[in-house]
Amino acid sequence: MPNGELNPTVYDVAARSGVSIATVSRVLRRPDEVRPETAAKVMDAVRELGYVPSASARGLAGRRTQVIGLLLPGHQEGDPVPDPGPATPPRIRDDRASAEQAAEESGTGGPVNLYYDEVIRGAEGEASEQGFALLIAAGTASHRERLVGEIAGRVDGLVVLAATLGDELLARTSTRVPVVLVADSGDEHDLDHVVVDNEQGMRALVTEVLRDAAVRDIAYIAGPEDSPDERDRRRGFDRAIDDARDDRTEFGDAADSPAVRILRGDFSVASGRRLADRLLAEAGSETESDAGSGVRLPDAIVCSNDQSALGVLQSLTAAGVDVPGRVRVSGFDGVEAGRFSTPRLSTVRQPMADLGRIAVRTLLRRLASPDAPRQRVVLPVEVLLRESAPPHV
């Protein structure tokens, strides 16, 4: 290296790329303000040298901002907003859309926002107590890189929810500012993590559902395959099924009891409703006396998150299916909407506000001690047995 130091500095990056230190700083903090060819040259030098900006190097553009960024998965891109026209009378329309239509129109499936709301509240509270402001961002996928470039230049560190950034963008971002990952159980990133015990939570919930020997056929509505939460929850589901089969075999049941059906959803209310509609269609003319066409409704439907479970409840209720008398339904997350559904939703409650609170606390520790060992904080969960899948007595 030009200056002979063991660790590359911003001066080395400037020398390697043939630009000024100020330009290097702009590329690292606000790449959208620099010509693409210049930014590419600087980033090539950063990668070749293995340069990681320190807190003092980031201070080239000023002191600490006392601002923390919180990045959430982006919303879907909708229709353009029309320019306002002259004042017109209020429009009246029949808005009695089906729950599925309403979920699809909301883009995110509705209650998913409640999850983020609670994380945000926890993060805001902790940041405020520590004298920091919280900058919240959730851009569309097509604008995410530009958004991250803008945000990273304005904050001292970032709290990033799982699935918000791709691996490459996350790696690049973490060279600019400290990053704490929330709800991402993967170990591929050498970053601080704050997660919940998804696997044990799902295992405990399914074990409770299967305490009733009458549950001999269970459906699992999974989330997206690339979701870290889904991977852990599916593992917990599978282990609970294995446990139940071992126990039931001892009492003379078939080795494959309970039977299992797996359906792939996307964590939305709409997908839960759609998949429940499929189960209803397959069951055909089944009635509560089970006089049907051969394919029965499952005795229990376990969903990988609450949004899907709420969609399932909507579908079954609309079809006149008795929940939990005929089908037990459960979710995972503990969003507030589940407390007010009919029947109230059994679930695994994540300490969502604590996720935000402890993520901010972890980030502030990282700012104070940049070279400290990476932390992985695992928060416990709680199984809440409500009316949709009550305790077996």
Q: How many CB atoms lie within 10 A of CB 95?
A: 7
Spell out the per-residue pLDDT of the chain, length 393, in tens: 444 444 677 778 888 999 987 788 778 777 777 888 898 898 888 888 877 665 444 444 445 788 999 998 765 444 455 566 666 667 665 555 444 444 444 444 444 456 788 899 999 999 999 999 999 988 666 677 777 877 887 899 999 987 778 788 888 888 889 999 998 766 667 899 999 999 999 999 999 999 998 999 999 999 999 888 999 999 999 999 999 998 876 555 666 789 999 999 999 999 999 999 999 999 986 544 444 456 799 999 999 999 999 999 999 999 999 999 999 999 999 988 999 999 999 999 999 999 999 999 999 999 999 889 999 999 999 999 999 999 987
pLDDT of 251 reads 59
Cα(204)–Cα(354) distance, rounded to whole angstroms? 21
**CATH 3.40.50.2300 spans which residues of the chain?**
66-76+98-197+352-379, 198-350
With CA atoms as reference, report the closest residue to 363 among 35, 68, 43, 83. Answer: 68
Query: What is the DSSP secondary-structure string of 69-102?
Result: EEE-PPPPP-PPPPPP-S--PPP-------HHHH
- The SS3 assignment for 316 reads helix
Q: Give CA–CA dist 63/244, Å, rounded.
A: 58
Buried b (16+ CB within 10 A) or exposed e, 334-364: bbebbeebebebbbbbbbbbbbbbbbbbbbb
Token duo for residue 283: 């069951």
- CATH 1.10.260.40 range(s) for the chain read 10-60
- Is 10-60 a domain of CATH 3.40.50.720? no
- Is 160 in contact with 170 (CB distance < 8 Å)? yes
- CATH superfamily for domain 66-76+98-197+352-379: Response regulator (3.40.50.2300)
What's the Cα-to-Cα distance from 332 to each of 237, 249, 338, 356, 372, rounded to whole Å? 12, 28, 10, 18, 34
Distance CA 350, CA 335 (A): 9
With beta carbons less than 8 A apart as the criterion, state whether 108 and 268 touch.
yes
Q: What is the Cα–Cα distance from 269 to 108, expressed in whole angstroms?
A: 9
DSSP H helices in the chain: 10-17, 21-29, 36-49, 55-58, 99-105, 112-129, 144-152, 167-174, 198-209, 228-250, 269-283, 306-318, 352-368
Distance CA 297, CA 282 (A): 8
Q: Are 310 and 338 in contact (CB under 8 A)?
A: yes
Please tell me the CATH superfamily of domain 198-350, with its number: Response regulator (3.40.50.2300)
**Collapsing DSSP states into helix, strand and coil, what is residue 320?**
coil
Rounded Cα distance between 346 and 331, Å, is 6
